[in-house]
Amino acid sequence: MPDKFDRAPHPLRALPAIQKLLEAPEAAPLFAVASPAAVTATLRLVLARLRTKSHQTPAALPTIAAIVMEAAGLLDAQKTMILRRTINATGIILHTNLGRAPLGEDAQKAAIAVMQGYANLEYDLHTGQRGSRTQGIEPVLCRLLGAEAAVAVNNNAAAMLLALSAHAAGGEVLVSRGELVEIGGGFRIPDIIRQGGARLVEVGTTNKTRLADYRSAITPDTRVLLKVHQSNFRMVGFTAAAAAAELAELAHEFGLLLIEDLGSGTLVDLRPFGRSHEPTVGDSLAAGADLVAFSGDKLLGGPQSGLLVGRAVAVDPLRGHPLMRALRLDKITLAALEATLRQYLDPSRATAAIPVLRMLVQDAAVLRQRAEQLGRMIGVGDDAIVTRVVDSDGYAGGGSLPGETIPSVAVTIGIAGMSGETVAETLRAGAPAVICRVHHGAALCDMLTVADEELPELAACLRQVARAAS
């Protein structure tokens, strides 16, 4: 179709025709790596880009070889998935940017089983009638926690939005000034309350909030007392907070609900494993909270999800709420979640079967062995890499166990002619991608978050980086 560019002769009008490119000997190698259709489409894309570019800046006419090279690069990039498996060598167990909890074996198998075909997602196998989507997780959660009822949605932010929309819309929510937190990724308690259609009423001060502060703030419009776990920071010094048990008593005296956003919400007490105390979901329910919200992919160790457990009067109104339809989970997540929860039915097995718990309770001696093993694997047939085993600090991450470091062991990676930053950048580009830490200018692989089974692959990735340097 003629346009204004046809009138002005331009060097890029002399770009080779697609047919000429396809027949050029330079293009032959492309057909070895991709189908004729893909090669044609990619060459067309390169030509189209060149034409667009030429409108902005007059460019020199590229050679056929240059066009083919660009197409080869595009075809290569298309072969590697952008979202891909990643080796987490950061030492941060619940790394939100790296997908938080890796799933245990049972959860993986359960997810694969339902994704390969159909599943009784909303079908009751006893009655042959329509069933509840959360039929698999609800009885397990109730049994584990002694709760009356449970539902699950997409994540904990969704759980809070649903809970506040269903119970506080048009009314007031009382929150301590010390708990008006931002979790990260834009989740702020005041925003979620507003989004739920409720009014935030701040009580107490940043460092001290007493039960009397809540009591004096209650009005006929109050619907909910909200308690929020401070997750990613810790207050020390001259502080005070009302206990969940007294808040529950106060809420019930006025016919209100106590909702607790527990964040991580572990099901097991971590103290026997040498970690500091993280409030458990059971603690909150025992204290009298009507509804407890927590993430499925933090310390619980399951897939991304948000769980709501508590009294039937608080949970049941959530089931038919219009937001539930928008926030509901899919069958793959529900299967992985049910399998993860089932591990907790046998507490003696849970820590071994759930990767997050397994990582949290690792022994320093095991981490050191892993580091030495990696060093040996890299060392074999390669002196381009110098490794050193060093002590390191790991973290639970994901707002869990704030301020607490987990003693760990790492391997520093020295590659001649490469800065630590360059090593890290090259590792990121691989498949699997490897994410390490850079500490005092050196790349460092922390063993807290690397599984034994990943060591050969990690060693291979590191050797590949060294080859790229030489």
Of 42, 231, 343, 351, the residue at the interface with ligand PLP (CB under 6 A) is 231
- The three-state DSSP-derived secondary structure of 197-259 is CCEEEEECCCCECCHHHHHHHCCCCEEEEEEECCCCCCCCCCCECCCHHHHHHHHHHCCCEEE
Stretch of 6-14, 228-236, 239-247, 406-414 contacting ligand PLP, by CB under 6 A: 228-236
Asked if 229 touches ligand PLP (CB under 6 A), the answer is yes
Of 42, 54, 155, 266, the residue at the interface with ligand PLP (CB under 6 A) is 155
Residue nearer to ligand PLP on the CB measure, 176 or 387:
176
Asked if 222 touches ligand PLP (CB under 6 A), the answer is no
Stretch of 20-28, 153-161, 210-218, 328-336 contacting ligand PLP, by CB under 6 A: 153-161
CB of 231 to ligand PLP, least distance (A): 3
Q: What is the C-alpha to C-alpha distance for residues 111 and 311, in angstroms, rounded to an integer?
A: 29
- The three-state DSSP-derived secondary structure of 437-455 is EEECCEEEEEHHHCCHHHH
Asked if 261 touches ligand PLP (CB under 6 A), the answer is yes
Q: What is the C-alpha to C-alpha distance for residues 269 and 396, in angstroms, rounded to an integer?
A: 15
Stretch of 122-130, 260-268, 373-381, 417-425 contacting ligand PLP, by CB under 6 A: 260-268
The closest alpha carbon to 245, from 195, 207, 208, 284, belongs to 284
CB of 297 to ligand PLP, least distance (A): 7
Q: What is the C-alpha to C-alpha distance for residues 16 and 67, in angstroms, rounded to an integer?
A: 10
Question: Which residues are CB-contacts of 362 (< 8 A; sequence separation ≥ 6)?
Answer: 448
Stretch of 69-77, 209-217, 224-232, 346-354 contacting ligand PLP, by CB under 6 A: 224-232
CB of 237 to ligand PLP, least distance (A): 21
Of 68, 89, 152, 157, the residue at the interface with ligand PLP (CB under 6 A) is 157
CB of 178 to ligand PLP, least distance (A): 13
Asked if 263 touches ligand PLP (CB under 6 A), the answer is yes
Asked if 353 touches ligand PLP (CB under 6 A), the answer is no
Q: What is the C-alpha to C-alpha distance for residues 93 and 102, in angstroms, rounded to an integer?
A: 9
Asked if 164 touches ligand PLP (CB under 6 A), the answer is no
Helices 137-145 and 331-343 pack at an angle, to 10 degrees, of 30
Stretch of 227-235, 344-352, 420-428, 454-462 contacting ligand PLP, by CB under 6 A: 227-235
Interacting residues with ligand PLP between 293 and 352 (CB under 6 A): 295, 306
CA 436 remoteness from chain centre:
17
Residue nearer to ligand PLP on the CB measure, 96 or 132:
96
Asked if 280 touches ligand PLP (CB under 6 A), the answer is no
HSE toward the beta carbon, residue 105, CA cutoff 13 A: 6
Residue nearer to ligand PLP on the CB measure, 134 or 231:
231
Q: CA distances (Å), 278 to each of 147, 171, 283, 296, 413, in order?
A: 19, 31, 10, 15, 34
CB of 433 to ligand PLP, least distance (A): 22
Structure tokens at 456: 């050969």
Asked if 399 touches ligand PLP (CB under 6 A), the answer is yes
Residue nearer to ligand PLP on the CB measure, 299 or 424:
299
Q: What is the C-alpha to C-alpha distance for residues 408 and 171, in angstroms, rounded to an integer?
A: 48
**Chain residue whose CB lies nearest ligand PLP:** 263
Residue nearer to ligand PLP on the CB measure, 136 or 397:
397
Of 164, 187, 281, 394, the residue at the interface with ligand PLP (CB under 6 A) is 187
Asked if 228 touches ligand PLP (CB under 6 A), the answer is yes
Query: Contact residues for ligand PLP (CB under 6 A)?
Result: 155-157, 183, 187, 228-229, 231, 261, 263-264, 295, 306, 399
